[in-house]
Amino acid sequence: MNVLILSPGYPADMPEFTRGLAECGARVFGVGDQPVGALPELVRRSLSEYVEVRSLWDSASVAADLRTSLKGHELDRIECLWEPGIMLAAELREQFGVDGLTVEQARRFRDKEAMKQALDTAGIRTPRHIAADSVAGCWDAAERIGYPIILKPIAGAGSADTYRVETADQLRAVLPRLRHVPTVSVEEFVDGEEYTFDTITIDGEISYYNVAWYRPRPLVARSNEWISPQVIALRDVDDADLAGGIKMGFDVIQALGFGTGFTHMEWYRKADGEVVFGEIGGRPPGAHQVDQMKYACDFDVFRAWGSAVTAGKLDAEIERRYNVATIYKRAHGIGRITRIEGAAELGRRFGEHVVWDTLLAPGTPRRDWMQTLVSDGFIMLRHPDLDETLAMADAVGSELHLYAE
């Protein structure tokens, strides 16, 4: 099978997905705007050929370059696991006659308003929502929906450029920050716990799914620098509190007509038990949440996805063994990391449960916490018992400190 993967070297886990395809026997072609010498070694080893293009965002030019460079090779799949490239992949599929997510289907995964309209039609509970492309439109939507509201880009990913607004004065203050966003979705604010529903799907059937719990909700974490956000991949997906959200996830996949690949959905559970859809992407979650799935079940998620894409089946037996917590840390201060406090004591207490430590070393410049959830590194740990997992995660959140100056 000949598989084209867009942007095989970026973001951070794309090299692993590229490897997953190659290890399943595919001839993997890559296309991107990085020079081949800048690609990670794992990518270079996994690719049969790489096509460098001037810009990934000009589909006609990309298609022309591919026709020239891949002459004589017929493509069986075109894959993209990076949010900004989802539409490009769909356009290339149509130009090359390759099965997969169509432009119309991809639009429903990229355009939050079209997404929710499709789910409204299917009878799935979504937040009340109105698309607005002007200041006046935002004011009108706020009046019709009622405060509190959420403003977010209709084509955004994660919680970037997303704001909770509780009053007219707050809306007046927020609107100038969104001048660079062409169209926003103005939505009802849903008060509840926030979870994910992540899948590997084959021909419309879910073959594997993961449920993760955000502690706290991403919007809260993005609004408060002092917080150490947590994402908890849950072992007990049969918990009755999750049943409504999982059923919703299955219904959403069917309603949007997703075929084969990875999806990442977010949903809310209110205090009264009602479940409400958040949004869904036709790609995996970021911030190393795919690695959480790997450590939760001790299987190679990247190769499993590759098997789904190339063979139409998973090549792994999956057993949910652990809860996995990722605790993202943000340094105190500005500049370079100078010291880390609490790591030795926490290592003594929990070291056997830590599976990954990416904390920035002293001397490293601090990252912009507003631009990346990974922030200044994370601790990933696991335990079969959820209460024990949460206790360890909370200890890392409160007792581990990075300082910068």
- Could you report the per-residue pLDDT of 115-136, keeping only the tens digit for each? 999 999 999 999 999 999 999 9
Give mean pLDDT, residues 266-279: 97
Banded pLDDT at 379 (limits 50, 70, 90): very high
- Could you report the per-residue pLDDT of 203-233, keeping only the tens digit for each? 999 999 999 999 999 989 988 999 999 999 9
Which positions ≥6 away from 48 have C-beta within 8 Å?
27, 28, 29
Which tokens is 357 given? Answer: 């430590």
Residue 201: CB atoms within 10 A of its CB come to: 20
> For residues 323 and 348, what is the distance between their CA atoms, to the nearest angstrom?
20
Rg from Cα positions in the chain: 21
Q: What confidence score (pLDDT) does residue 112 get?
A: 87
Do the domains 192-321 and 2-100 match in fold? no
CATH code reported for the domain at 2-100: 3.40.50.20
CATH class held by domain 192-321: alpha beta
Q: What confidence score (pLDDT) does residue 158 get?
A: 62
Domain map (residue ranges) of the chain: 2-100, 128-188, 192-321, 323-405
CB of 328 within 8 A of CB of 287?
A: yes
Report the mean per-residue pLDDT for the chain: 96
pLDDT at 31 over 70: yes
Which positions ≥6 away from 67 have C-beta within 8 Å?
none
Give mean pLDDT, residues 224-250: 98
Give mean pLDDT, residues 2-31: 97
Lowest pLDDT segment from 78-92, 145-159, 217-231, 307-321: 145-159
> For residues 58 and 81, what is the distance between their CA atoms, to the nearest angstrom?
18
Partners of 184 in beta bridges:
132, 153
Which positions ≥6 away from 372 have C-beta within 8 Å?
287
Task: Write out the H or E segment, with its range, that includes residue 61.
Answer: helix 59-69
Q: What confidence score (pLDDT) does residue 231 get?
A: 98
Partners of 49 in beta bridges:
29
Percent of the chain with pLDDT over 90: 94
Q: What confidence score (pLDDT) does residue 106 get?
A: 96
Q: What confidence score (pLDDT) does residue 155 get?
A: 78
Residue with more model confidence, 111 or 158: 111
pLDDT at 28 over 80: yes
Please provide residue 341's backbone torsions phi and psi, each rounded to the nearest 5 degrees: -115, 140
> For residues 11 and 377, what is the distance between their CA atoms, to the nearest angstrom?
16
> For residues 141 and 129, what is the distance between their CA atoms, to the nearest angstrom?
8
Which tokens is 157 given? Answer: 């990913």
Architecture of domain 128-188: 2-Layer Sandwich (3.30)
| Among candidate residues 222, 165, 218, the one with its CA nearest the CA of residue 196 | 218
Banded pLDDT at 157 (limits 50, 70, 90): low
Which tokens is 150 given? Answer: 């959420």
Q: Count Cβ atoms within 10 A of the Cβ of residue 33 and give its class: 0-12 exposed, 13-18 middle, 19 or more buried.
A: middle
